[in-house]
Structures are given as structure tokens and as C-alpha cells.
């Protein structure tokens, strides 16, 4: 198939490679062209704008940074909606505002095409291995058309509801993570001050009711002092802010999420934005 | 062996049965005798006080409610320390204050015997199935002597350090759970107000970075409206208060744990103390 791919950051690049390796014709665009060079060298065709990518492709995938980037890519001067043609399907895999997903979908339908939102979870490792979790929102028929391609990228793929439902599910995902990150971080800090061996502690509790991905995957990194990003604090804060904005609109107070957001913003202010989310434990170093 | 067992609540009763079924002579005491009747009918021998139990046993196990109950059972008028004899080993499996574990151990050593703290995780199901996680603190040699018996009760058993280390590890366990409970509860509340299907949401996110025991085991109960206790809110608050007291002593601020403690205390005030910890989502019903 002729596929468009916009956004070749750490996630996007690895994901796009799976489509390329499956033999599809790929037309790519990225704000910084250098980040697309590896894909170009492997056969992807560079285009100078989202508009040009769109004109060439049957399905366009996007995975960029922030909601404003998504806005630009879709609605900008040389954006995707300038290149619309019959039977086009748009798939935004960026984690972004549910309302933006709905806005894109509305515009797509107005123009006689369709879109789905399909944010992912699983980090760079999942992107590389093609084992992402993909949470989609949109029309079933459109989802079914895109599904064989999504299967090249992920192992757990579900249609969660209509447009925006993928983004809402991703928000729920991030809300859980905010809680587990705080719980695990505080347990590690507690263990240290209590004088017990954090490794023994993690090993003892990780198979019971405290068991979680964060304990298995991030606690060992914290113990080793490895703060390198699996997932950037900057991106996590973006996601939490979207979820908090949604919660505010719905008049629900998510106190735990608010606290996590506040804590991570403290770390951003200290220059930790490009560190991994496991750097939360650094807060207590500052406070001590 | 001749074993003493003090505390035949939901956890204690089920645990004691494993020792009884393994052929040991069991001497039991419980504040409310009725709760021990099932064990008595199966061959356990009733004694009228912790002191009397202790006089008969080589190893005495205790699992009661609150730190003050532990104090009474060990240091009370007809308490364990009144019945001490040569080679006795004391094993407190209650989740209690690390300093109380240290105090018991000190007294035991003064009297020429030894003790370990060995709180558990895994709830009534783990107690029944003999699959508890047991986190011990104390002397290696004493631990090794008790280990064959602990193996009848649990599958993951570790010596975490000296006296009190078992309790500290259990606190770390509860701190993680406080975080995951808040994260999962807020995600469920978010999903509901966002109009997405909570079951689909949980199924989508539970195998990724948001994956945790709470999501697998308690979210489905919340979705069904089942608030029955796997673990009482009253007991969880007790545990969190112990952890917070320890944190205060060490001058570390555990904001997430503080928040969870505050939220659960709101529920206690509303009469939810005997409900399961998954009832946290009820807070939003009150607020709406």
C-alpha cells in the first residue's frame, strides 16, 4: 500500500520501519529532516510537507510531540487537510487531547474521508519490537481497514469507542502510571531511610498485591541510579496536563494525578525534563 | 512440633489450619473464642491466655489486629512474655510498627530466647491457599528454624534484615499499594466521566506500563460494584498511619501516601471502614 508517515522521532521512526519492512511504499515527512534519514536510506520517500505526503498516500499515520504539533500537521498551511483525496484514512498515533481527535475526525468526515485516533503505550522498546499497546477511537469499518497495518506495530490493539476514545483510554493509562510511579518511588525512598535493602524489598513484594510494571521495570533502574529515559518526564507532564484538563471539564477532582503532575513539574523546573519518569525519586534528594 | 497460635481472624484461622493439617500440635488463643471453634473442632487445643499458649509451645505465632493488640498479647498481664521458657521462638505475623518488632525482639533476647517479625501479604485467598508473601526480619539462624513452618503458609518467603526489617518491607508494600489504588481508582472514575467502557479500558491497558495487581484484581470488582473486603479499609489505614509515622521520624515527606491516607479516612468517616480498599472510587460518588 501507499502509506504516509509523519513524525520520525524515537517512537515514530521505529514504528515506521515495521511498515517499510513489510513492503509498503512509505512517504515521510518530519519537522527535522535529519531524523528521517535512516528511513530514507532504507527506501522511504521524503516529501516536503504533510500536504505532499497526504497527496501520495492511502493512509497517513502521524506521531508527533504536542497537541500544537498535531494541530499544525493537520490544519496548518501545508497540512494534511490540504492534501485530502478520495478514500484517504488518517491515523493519529500521538498522545493528544481527546477533543483534538474529535476535531480531526469531524473535519475528516466533512471532507468525505475518515480518521481514527490510535495512541500507543509501550515505549521505544515496544516500538522497536512491534509489541505496542494501541488504543483506538473511531468508526469500526475504518478501524478494520487499518488493523492489518496496526498489527505490524503492536500486539494488543483495541477499538475503545468512537473518535477520541483512544485518547481517553491513553489518559486512563497515564493516570494509573502516575499513581504507580508515586507509590513505587515513595516505597524506594522509605526503604532507603528505613535501612532495608531496596533490591530485597522489591523482590519480596513484586509478586503480591503491590506488583506492578513500574516495580518490575523502573525500580531496578532507580536502584542502579539509572535515570535515562524510557519515557521522558516532559512528555509525561504533557499527558497529565491533558488528563487534568479533561477532568476539570468534567468537574472531577483527580487529587493523585494532580499531585503527580505537581511533583514532576518540580523536577522539570530542576532540569529533569529529559530524564525518565523513574527520576521522581530525585525529589527526595532535593528535599533532604 | 508443639506450636502456639494466637489470633484466629480471617487470616490467622486459615494460616493456622495449614500447620494443623501438617500434623503439628496446636495450642490456640483468641480474644473472641468463637472465632477459634472451627480450629478446636479440628484438633487445636484451646488455652485461656497467650501466657498459657506460650508455656505449651516451642514456637508461638501471633497475628492479631492493631499494634495495641500486639502489645497486649506480648507484654500484657497474661501475655506471651509471662510464659517464656528455654528455646522458645516468637513469630509476630501481624502488620505492626517496626519499633514494636524491635521492642519484642529486645525483650526476647533479654529473656534468652529469640523472635522474628514476619508480616504477610496476599489476603484471605493467600492465607487459604498457603500462597502468602512473607517478609521477615530477625536473626538468620532463628529464621532458618522457622522457615519450614513458614513454607506451609506462603510461597515467597524472605529474610529482609534484622528485627523490624519485615515490618519495614511490609510498609514499603503498603506504600506501593496506596499509589496503585489511587491511580487505578482515578482512571476508573476518569473512564466513566469520559464515556468510555471501563472494562475495555482495563483490558487495553493492563498488559502495558500501567499493568498492576490492582488493575487485574480490584478494577473488575469496582466495575461490578463489588465493594466487599479482600482487605479492609480500616486495616489499610492502620498500616498507612504506621508508615507515615515512620516517615515522619525519618523526616521524609511521602505526599502520595499522605493523600491516600486522607482519602481513605474520608471513607472511614462515611462508614466504609469494613469495605474493601477498592471502595476508594466511592469518594467521587460523594463528591458528585
Domains in chain B: boundaries: 2-162, 168-286
> A262 pLDDT exceeds 50?
yes
Long-range contacts, stretch B257-266, CB < 8 angstroms, 24+ apart: B257/A186, B257/B175, B257/B178, B257/B179, B259/A255, B259/A256, B259/A259, B259/B182, B260/A256, B260/B178, B260/B179, B260/B181, B260/B182, B261/B178, B261/B237, B263/A255, B263/B182, B264/B233, B264/B236, B264/B237, B264/B240, B265/B237
Residues from chain B that touch A256, judged by Cβ atoms under 8 A, are 179, 182-183, 185-186, 256, 259-260
Q: Which residues pair with A59 in a beta bridge?
A: A3, A89
> B287 pLDDT exceeds 60?
no
Choose the mutation target among B209, B229, B240, B280 for the interface with A, i.e. most A CBs under 10 Å: B209
Work out the average pLDDT over B61-79: 97
Work out the average pLDDT over A46-72: 97
Selected from 3.30.360.10, 3.40.50.720, 2.30.110.10, 3.30.530.20, the CATH number assigned to the domain covering A2-162 reads 3.40.50.720
With CB atoms and an 8 Å threshold, state whether B256 touches A252: no
Residues from chain A that touch B260, judged by Cβ atoms under 8 A, are 256
Question: What is the predicted pLDDT for the residue at A199?
Answer: 98
With CB atoms and an 8 Å threshold, state whether A250 touches B193: yes
Question: What is the predicted pLDDT for the residue at B286?
Answer: 63
Work out the average pLDDT over A3-31: 97
Q: Which of B239, B236, B234 is nearest to B271 (CA)?
A: B234
Question: What is the predicted pLDDT for the residue at A288?
Answer: 47
List pLDDT tens digits, range B137-190.
999 999 999 999 999 999 999 999 999 999 999 999 999 999 999 999 999 999
List pLDDT tens digits, range B176-208.
999 999 999 999 999 999 999 999 999 999 998
- Compare CB distances from A184 to B176, B193, B246 and report the shortest one's residue: B176
Q: What is the mean pLDDT of chain B?
A: 96
Nearest CA in chain B to A260: B256
Query: Is B107 designated active site?
Result: no
Nearest CA in chain A to B181: A179
Q: Which residues pair with B156 in a beta bridge?
A: B133
With CB atoms and an 8 Å threshold, state whether A205 touches B169: yes
List pLDDT tens digits, range A112-138.
999 999 999 988 889 999 999 999 999
- Compare CB distances from A183 to B176, B188, B211 and report the shortest one's residue: B176
> A287 pLDDT exceeds 80?
no
Q: What is the mean pLDDT of chain A?
A: 96
Residues from chain B that touch A185, judged by Cβ atoms under 8 A, are 256
Nearest CA in chain A to B195: A165
The span from the CA of B272 to the CA of B152, in Å, is: 33
With CB atoms and an 8 Å threshold, state whether B196 touches A168: yes
The grid coordinates listed for B138 are 530477625
Roughly what angle, to the nearest 10 degrees, separates helices B233-249 and B255-269? 140
Question: What is the predicted pLDDT for the residue at A285?
Answer: 85
Residues from chain A that touch B190, judged by Cβ atoms under 8 A, are 168, 171-172, 175, 243, 246-247, 252, 254
Work out the average pLDDT over A224-231: 93
- Tell me the shortest Cα–Cα distance from B188 to chain A, in angstroms: 7
Nearest CA in chain B to A262: B255
Question: What is the predicted pLDDT for the residue at B205?
Answer: 97
Q: What is the DSSP letter of A112?
A: T
- Compare CB distances from A160 to B179, B200, B211 and report the shortest one's residue: B200
Work out the average pLDDT over B251-260: 97
**Is residue A87 classed exposed, middle or buried when 0-12, 13-18 and 19+ CB atoms within 10 A define those classes?**
exposed
- Tell me the shortest Cα–Cα distance from A96 to chain B, in angstroms: 15
Residues from chain A that touch B176, judged by Cβ atoms under 8 A, are 180, 183-184, 186-187, 205, 210, 212, 215
List pLDDT tens digits, range A177-220.
999 999 999 999 999 999 999 999 999 999 989 999 999 999 99
Nearest CA in chain B to A171: B187
With CB atoms and an 8 Å threshold, state whether A252 touches B284: yes
Residues from chain A that touch B178, judged by Cβ atoms under 8 A, are 183
The arrangement of secondary structure in A168-286, i.e. its CATH architecture, is Orthogonal Bundle (1.10)
What residues contact B155, with CB distance under 8 A and at least 6 apart? B130, B131, B132, B133
The span from the CA of B82 to the CA of B16, in Å, is: 23
- The residues of A annotated as belonging to the active site are 170
With CB atoms and an 8 Å threshold, state whether B183 touches A179: yes
Question: What is the predicted pLDDT for the residue at A248?
Answer: 97
B221: pLDDT confidence band, cut at 50, 70 and 90?
very high
The span from the CA of A96 to the CA of A119, in Å, is: 8
Amino acid at each position: 500500500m501507499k502509506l504516509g508517515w509523519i513524525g520520525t522521532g524515537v517512537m515514530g521512526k521505529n514504528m515506521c520501519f515495521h511498515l517499510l519492512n513489510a513492503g509498503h511504499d512509505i512517504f515521510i515527512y518530519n519537522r527535522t529532516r535529519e531524523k528521517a534519514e535512516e528511513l530514507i536510506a532504507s527506501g522511504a520517500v521524503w516529501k516536503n510537507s504533510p500536504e505532499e505526503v497526504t497527496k501520495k498516500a492511502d493512509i497517513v499515520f502521524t506521531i508527533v510531540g504536542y497537541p500544537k504539533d498535531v494541530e499544525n500537521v493537520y490544519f496548518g498551511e501545508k497540512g494534511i487537510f490540504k492534501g485530502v483525496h478520495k478514500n484517504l484514512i488518517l491515523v493519529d498515533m500521538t498522545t493528544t487531547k481527546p477533543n483534538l481527535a474529535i476535531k480531526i475526525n469531524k473535519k475528516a468526515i466533512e471532507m468525505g474521508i475518515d480518521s481514527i485516533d490510535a495512541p500507543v503505550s509501550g515505549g521505544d522498546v515496544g516500538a522497536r519490537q512491534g509489541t505496542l499497546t494501541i488504543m483506538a477511537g473511531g468508526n469500526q469499518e475504518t478501524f478494520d481497514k487499518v488493523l492489518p497495518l496496526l498489527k505490524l506495530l503492536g500486539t494488543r490493539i483495541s477499538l475503545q469507542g468512537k473518535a477520541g476514545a483512544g485518547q481517553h483510554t491513553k489518559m486512563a493509562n497515564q493516570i494509573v502510571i502516575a499513581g504507580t510511579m508515586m507509590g513505587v518511588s515513595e516505597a524506594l525512598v522509605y526503604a532507603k531511610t528505613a535501612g532495608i535493602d531496596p533490591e530485597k524489598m522489591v523482590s519480596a513484594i513484586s509478586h503480591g498485591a503491590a506488583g506492578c510494571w513500574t516495580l518490575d521495570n523502573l525500580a531496578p533502574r532507580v536502584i542502579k541510579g539509572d535515570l535515562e529515559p524510557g519515557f521522558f518526564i516532559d512528555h509525561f507532564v504533557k499527558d497529565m496536563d491533558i488528563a487534568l484538563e479533561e477532568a476539570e471539564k468534567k468537574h472531577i477532582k483527580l487529587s493523585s494525578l494532580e499531585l503527580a503532575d505537581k511533583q514532576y513539574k518540580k523536577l522539570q523546573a530542576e532540569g529533569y525534563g529529559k530524564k525518565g519518569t523513574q527520576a521522581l525519586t530525585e525529589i527526595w534528594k532535593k528535599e533532604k
